Amino acid sequence: MNKKCLGCGSVLQTDSINKEGFIKSSVYDKADYCERCFKIMHYGEYSVLDKKIDTDGIVRNINSDRVASVIFLIDALNINDKTKKLINRFKNNKYILITKKDVLPKSLKENKLKEFIKENVYNTDNIMFVSAFKNYNIDTFLNKLYEDNVHRAYIVGFTNSGKSTFINHILTSLNKTPTITTSSIPNTTASYIAIKLNNKLTVVDTPGFIDTDAIYNFMNYGKLIKLYPKKELKVKTFQVRSGYSVIVNDILRIENIGNKLNSFSFYMNDKLRYEKIKNKNDKLKILPSIEFDINEPSDILINGLGFIRITKIGTVKVYALDNRLVSKRKSMIK
What is the reported pLDDT for 185? 43
Residue 315 in 3-state DSSP? strand
Residue 284 in 3-state DSSP? coil
What is the reported pLDDT for 315? 95
267 neighbors 230 (Cβ within 8 angstroms): no
Listed ranges 16-30, 43-57, 178-192; the one with the highest mean pLDDT: 16-30
Of 191, 250, 206, the C-alpha closest to 224 is 250
Question: What mean pLDDT do residues 189-211 have?
Answer: 80
The whole-angstrom separation of Cα 163 and Cα 240 is: 37
What is the reported pLDDT for 12? 77
189 neighbors 160 (Cβ within 8 angstroms): no
Q: Kindly indicate the confidence band of residue 181, based on its pLDDT and cuts at 50, 70 and 90.
A: very low
In Å, the largest CA–CA distance within the chain is 69
Higher pLDDT, 255 or 8: 255
- pTM for this model (two decimals): 0.79
Q: What is the pLDDT of residues 277-308, one digit of tens each?
A: 999 999 999 999 999 999 999 999 999 899 99
The whole-angstrom separation of Cα 158 and Cα 189 is: 11
What is the reported pLDDT for 51? 55
**CA dihedral (313, 334, 80, 47) positive or negative:** positive
243 neighbors 274 (Cβ within 8 angstroms): no
Residue 74 in 3-state DSSP? strand
Length of the chain: 334
The answer on pLDDT for 25 being more than 60 is: yes
Chain-wide mean pLDDT for the chain? 84
